[in-house]
Amino acid sequence: MSSAPLVGIPMQTMPAIPGATPDCWVVGQRYVQALVAAGGIPWTIPLLAEDEKALRRIYAQLDGLMLTGGSDVDPTSYGEKRRPACGRSDLPRDRVEIALTRWAIADRKPTFGICRGAQVLVVALGGTLYQDLASERQGAIRHDCHAPEEGFNRDSLVHEILVERGTQLTEILAVDKVSVNSLHHQGIATLAPTLRATAFAPDGLIECVEGTGSAFFVGVQWHPEELAPTGAPHRRLFEAFVAAARTRRA
């Protein structure tokens, strides 16, 4: 058990319910379950955006960092003004995750971003996002496929991605084409020079980014935690990440 790596998972803000609950920090169970199934030990991270010292002390204990899905990345986090179609954001979460990402890449600490998490990796390193794909990206297919009343579930396979050969993702998935779910309305617009796009949706939207170094630094636009229980390629993403964090721990 001592070799099991500690993986930090920043939480997200759940707004107060007047008269019932105060503001809360929460994290989706599926992310934690997929990580534990792959052999990682989760360490949920509070959004201590105003306390860098405490955040640093938490970060120092970690063998890996996993950024999960959730609310929209605030446009101010990548230097843009908010447009009408941009959804609810969580600025304290942006600040915490961007700081953690920058520390992790400087230390070559394994980092895995999922959906919003992939977008945060891009923003942390100087890239930008589409605030709303349907209204901003010409020729975009539908990517926000999650409404049960429309026949979608969180594990619905709605489109394929094409994976670039000779990449970490190809090595991990062991395939160059895989069907994925799609639960987002924002997307990656421009990459930082230190990132490489390694998978694409049928409309050309970036579905995976990787760091250009040898350390594990991968962000995927779909939600593999929903597909891992029955989909081996998606399960291998968590296994590869945990293996990298375990090597870091050793």
Active-site residue numbers?
A: 115, 223, 225
- Nearest by Cα to 199 from 213, 184, 209, 187: 209
Rounded Cα distance between 48 and 164, Å, is 37
**Rg of the Cα atoms in the chain:** 17
Rounded Cα distance between 50 and 200, Å, is 37
**HSE value, Cβ hemisphere, 13 Å, CA-based, for 6:** 12
